Amino acid sequence: MERIKATAEFLRKKTAFTPDAGIILGSGLGGLVKSIDVKYSFDYSEIPNFPVSTVEGHDGRLIFGFLDGKKVVAMQGRFHYYEGYTMLQVVFPIRVMKMLGITHLFLSNAAGGLNSSFKVGDLMIIKDHINMFPDNPLKGKNIEELGTRFPEMGEAYSRDLIEKAKNIAEQNGIKYHTGVYVGSSGPTLETPAEYRMFHILGADSTGMSTVPEVIAARHMGLTCFGISVITNLAVFDEGEVGTSHDEVQNAAGEAEPKMTLIFRELIKTL
Ligand code: HPA
């Protein structure tokens, strides 16, 4: 808690900015930042107590500014469990953003599609998630100042924002799905048997992020909204060829403008 407060204090002193919404941009999905009228920007390495992002395709910057007149703080690049961070490190920035004043958290991720109706480049509005990480950011002594011991997860993703997002997509002719995201540690992609298992369990997309962040956010009472950009399709048969990291990045880049539009229009409604 001391570290969270110290980091929030550092950023408050440097920026005197009270953001309303936090935004986390996934692999190859950082384009939204171009629409932000940037007031302050920090390399993660400049921020006390922040872990440093290591994976390719993640820029590692915390950006404060106005998005269509709304005050936002955006993480360009996130901290993944598979990079070796602890769950506490993964969710540290979310806790700092909450201390800075955000009430809403918007998350995007690149994900594999498990639903047979999905195509590469499609968007999936996340309506729920399954935690398949071998860990939970709330494990250990509860920080009462942040939230309750046993947080409710019945509406992890805001139904109101999901309805608004669907309307925005429809009005703008953007094809979308809604579905369940399953998060697991990575860094390996799934074997065909694992993809099949996730599908049978009721998931529509799979990736290596978002779940810990939403758990920490809901613990603190933040309203969450998330989109998966489908960058590859699950390989269900042993004979099929899998996906390369390059393909994931390319597909993310192509779908990114549609996702950005939905985030922008949604944030305007706050
Ligand atoms: N599995 C896990 N994470 C991912 C995938 C996937 O197929 N695609 C993009 N991130």
Distance 206 CA to ligand 1 centre (A): 6
Tens of pLDDT, residues 223-258: 999 999 999 999 888 776 666 777 777 777 788 899
Give the mean pLDDT of 199-220.
98
pLDDT the model gives residue 53: 60
> What are 12-70's pLDDT values in tens digits?
999 989 999 999 998 777 789 999 999 999 999 899 999 876 655 455 899 999 999 99
Comparing 253 with 113, which gets the higher pLDDT?
113
Closest CA to 74 of 267, 270, 269: 267
Ligand 1 pocket list (CB less than 6 A): 110-112, 186, 189-190, 206-208, 231-232, 248
Write down the pTM of the prediction: 0.94
- Bridging pattern class, strands 104-113 and 21-25: parallel
Nearest-CA residue for ligand 1 atom 2 is 207
**Ligand 1: nearest atom to the Cα of 234:** 7
Q: Please give the domain boundaries of the chain with CATH numbers for all domains.
A: 2-268 (3.40.50.1580)
> Do the beta carbons of residue 240 and residue 220 sit within 8 Å?
no
pLDDT score recorded for residue 57: 46
What pLDDT is recorded for position 242? 66
- Element holding 198 (H helix, E strand): helix 192-200
Å from CA of 156 to ligand 1 middle: 21
Nearest CA to ligand 1 atom 9: 111
